[in-house]
């Protein structure tokens, strides 16, 4: 018999490699229209230790729906304080708009796995396919919708990198509202195209701090060259909402109702992972105020609460703004001027000025109250990622998967790669799921700096 066994082995190993990394290299899972979840998941009903109450900034008493609804829509105020209903119906008008881009794909990232040589399976949920390029629209749509049915005519908000402002501007247009957006000054200058996007949708955009509000004037008197922060922009937007009849304030992160709306991400992902025949051992999201992290995590976390599952949840924050790993757990304001309720949360202090990193959406001083409580009680972990590591991960991901990630999302990718390598080093393999919160096509100036070697 002259059968050459070694040739057979070579063929077999090529075949096995081929199986591990199929030629299509990217497998995507979608839900049919009927399978898209029609309710959001309210983790407040299940969380083992309820967060401490938010306090009114003037009276220091727990806030009420009445108090909150002076700023926010009534429905969002109710959702904010709802600790009893586990499932909350998504209004039909919002479902209709969600269907413009949902379900978003769940992707098995074979090419990324191959690029880092890991034995783990890596999946990502691609929220960058929304019309404005990030997960933010998932909450902008219901917030604008509730305002419109409550007779509100104007909405205002702050925006950092411009993602939330763009989402709100578009959602406001859909539901026939006027929108005014305060954009953090440094982002307004660094990211002119986000401003243009907001203006295309008809928003009035003002760089913050500005002279158009008392809060802005006070900040500029103290610090004439203030670059702006989410804290300053929130103060200005809140003031405008308070002073203007028929105007409500909206927020793109941090608050419970925002994260509630974002749970559509995790609820879809749960069904899509089932289609893939897997369940995640690790779920990762980048972390600004916690809405995309909570959105992908909370639906999976409910199975940890009941003891059915033991998934790890990892929030990836920038080393330049490390509230989860280095902040203090205490009551603090959500904004610079102290207009918002006092929130029990991990914070770096409401006057913290993060350095000028490109991940504008992650430059926020605090964390949502639910996430803060979960971290305190050990239900989740947090890691810090340096800017350079995040862009290295982002470029690796782009080359493998063909999508240029938002600088914020690069932090989640970097964390996923770190975790995969740790498991490889320990000789094990896991199923890792991360949220791709947005694309970076309007952030190419940041990539230019990275490619030119000028990034710190
Ligand atoms: C706003 C934003 C973030 C951070 O906000 P979270 O509320 O923590 O999700 C992350 N990624 C992108 C693309 C964003 O626009």
Ligand 1 centre from 437 Cα, in Å? 6
Rounded CA-CA distance 250/143 in Å is 7
Ligand 1 atom 4 nearest Cα: 288
pLDDT tens per residue, range 431-443: 999 999 999 999 9
Ligand 1 centre from 287 Cα, in Å? 7
Ligand 1 centre from 265 Cα, in Å? 13
Closest atom of ligand 1 to 292 CA is: 9
Q: pLDDT-based confidence at 15, cuts 50/70/90?
A: very low
Closest atom of ligand 1 to 439 CA is: 13
Q: What is the chain's mean pLDDT, rounded?
A: 93
pLDDT tens per residue, range 330-341: 999 988 788 889
Q: Would you kindly state where each structural domain of the chain is located, as residue ranges?
A: 43-90+136-249, 94-134+259-451
For 236-239, the CB contacts below 8 A with 24+ separation are 236/158, 236/182, 236/206, 236/208, 236/209, 236/210, 236/212, 237/156, 237/157, 237/158, 237/180, 237/181, 237/182, 238/71, 238/335, 238/337, 238/339, 238/340, 239/213, 239/214, 239/215, 239/337, 239/339
Average pLDDT over residues 180-209: 94
Ligand 1 atom 10 nearest Cα: 408
Ligand 1 centre from 385 Cα, in Å? 15
Ligand 1 atom 8 nearest Cα: 288
Residue 404's closest CA among 455, 446, 452, 356?
Answer: 446
Ligand 1 atom 9 nearest Cα: 292
Ligand 1 centre from 256 Cα, in Å? 15
Ligand 1 centre from 26 Cα, in Å? 25
Ligand 1 centre from 88 Cα, in Å? 23
Q: pLDDT-based confidence at 19, cuts 50/70/90?
A: very low
Rounded CA-CA distance 270/137 in Å is 20
pTM of the entire structure?
Answer: 0.93
User: Ligand 1 pocket: which residues have CB below 6 Å?
Assistant: 134, 136, 161, 163-164, 253, 286-293, 361-362, 406, 408-409, 437-438
- At 26 the pLDDT is 80
Q: Which is more confident, 437 or 4? A: 437
Rounded CA-CA distance 304/301 in Å is 5
3.55.40.20, 3.40.50.1100, 3.40.50.720, 3.30.70.20: which CATH number matches 43-90+136-249? 3.40.50.1100
- State the CATH architecture for 94-134+259-451: 3-Layer(aba) Sandwich (3.40)
Closest atom of ligand 1 to 409 CA is: 11
Closest atom of ligand 1 to 362 CA is: 4
Average pLDDT over residues 239-246: 95
Ligand 1 atom 5 nearest Cα: 288
Average pLDDT over residues 406-425: 98
- 3-class DSSP string for the chain: CCCCHHHHHHHHHHHHHHHHCCCCCCEEECCCHHHCCCEEECHHHCCCCCCCCCECCCCCCECCHHHHCCCCCHHHHHHHHCCCCCEEECCHHHHHHHCCCCCCCEEECHHHHHHHCCCCEEEEEEHHHCCCCECCHHHHHHHHHHHHHCCCCEEEEEECCCHHHHHHHHHHHHCCCEEEEEEEHHHHHHCHHHHHHHHHCCCEEEEECCCCCHHHHHHHHHCCCCCCCHHHHHHHHHHHHHHCCCEEECCCCCCHHHHHHHHHHHHHHHHHHHHCCCCCCEEEEECCCCHHHHHHHHHHHHHHHCCCCCCEEEEEEECCCCHHHHCEEEEEECCCCCCCCEEEEEECCCCCCCCCCCCHHHCCCECCHHHHHHHHCCCCEEEEECHHHHHHHHHHHHHHHCCCECHHHHHHHHHHHHHHHHHHHCCCCCEEEEEECEECCCCHHHHHHHHCCCCC
- At 17 the pLDDT is 47
Q: pLDDT-based confidence at 2, cuts 50/70/90?
A: low
Average pLDDT over residues 387-402: 98
Closest atom of ligand 1 to 438 CA is: 13
Ligand 1 atom 13 nearest Cα: 438
Give Cα 394 distance to the centre of its chain: 16
Ligand 1 centre from 360 Cα, in Å? 9
- Name the residue of 161, 283, 408 whose CB sits within 8 Å of the most ligand 1 atoms, as the mutation to test its pocket: 408
């Amino acid at each position: 018999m002259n059968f050459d066994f070694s040739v057979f082995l070579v063929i077999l190993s090529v075949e096995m490699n081929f199986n591990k990394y199929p030629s299509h290299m990217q497998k995507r899972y979608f839900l049919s229209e009927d399978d898209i979840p029609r309710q959001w998941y309210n983790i407040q009903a299940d969380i083992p230790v309820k967060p401490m109450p938010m306090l009114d900034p003037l009276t220091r008493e727990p806030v009420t729906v009445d108090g909150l609804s002076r700023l926010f829509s009534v429905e969002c105020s109710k959702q904010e304080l709802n600790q009893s209903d586990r499932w909350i119906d998504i209004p039909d008008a919002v479902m209709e708009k969600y269907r413009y881009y949902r379900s978003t794909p769940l992707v098995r990232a074979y090419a990324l796995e191959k690029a880092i040589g890991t034995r783990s399976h890596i999946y990502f949920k691609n929220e960058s396919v929304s019309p404005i390029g990030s997960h933010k629209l998932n909450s902008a749509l219901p917030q604008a919708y509730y305002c419109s049915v409550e007779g509100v005519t104007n909405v205002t908000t702050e925006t950092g990198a411009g993602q939330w402002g763009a989402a709100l501007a578009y959602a406001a247009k859909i539901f026939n509202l006027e929108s005014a957006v305060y954009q953090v000054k440094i982002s307004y200058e660094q990211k002119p195209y986000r401003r243009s996007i907001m203006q295309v949708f008809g928003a009035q955009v003002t760089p913050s701090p500005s002279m158009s509000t008392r809060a802005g004037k006070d900040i500029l008197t103290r610090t004439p060259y203030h670059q702006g922060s989410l804290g300053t922009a929130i103060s200005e937007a809140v003031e405008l909402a308070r002073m203007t009849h028929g105007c409500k304030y909206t927020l793109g992160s941090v608050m419970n109702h925002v994260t509630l709306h974002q749970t559509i991400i995790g609820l879809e992902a749960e069904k899509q992972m089932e289609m893939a025949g897997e369940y995640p051992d690790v779920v990762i999201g980048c972390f600004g105020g916690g809405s995309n992290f909570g959105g992908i995590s909370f639906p999976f976390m409910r199975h940890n609460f009941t003891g059915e599952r033991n998934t790890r949840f990892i929030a990836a924050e920038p080393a330049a703004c490390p509230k989860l790993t280095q902040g203090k757990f205490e009551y603090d304001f959500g904004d610079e001027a102290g207009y918002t309720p006092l929130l029990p949360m991990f914070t770096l202090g409401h006057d913290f000025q993060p350095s000028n990193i490109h991940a504008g959406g992650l430059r926020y001083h605090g964390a949502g109250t639910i996430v803060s409580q979960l971290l305190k009680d050990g239900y989740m972990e947090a890691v810090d990622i340096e800017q350079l590591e995040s862009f290295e991960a982002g470029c690796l991901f782009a080359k493998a998967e063909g999508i240029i990630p938002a600088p914020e999302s690069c932090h989640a990718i970097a964390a996923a790669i770190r975790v995969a390598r740790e498991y490889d080093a320990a000789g094990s393999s896991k199923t890792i799921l991360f949220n791709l919160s947005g694309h970076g096509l309007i952030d190419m100036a940041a990539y230019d700096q990275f490619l030119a070697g000028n990034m710190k």
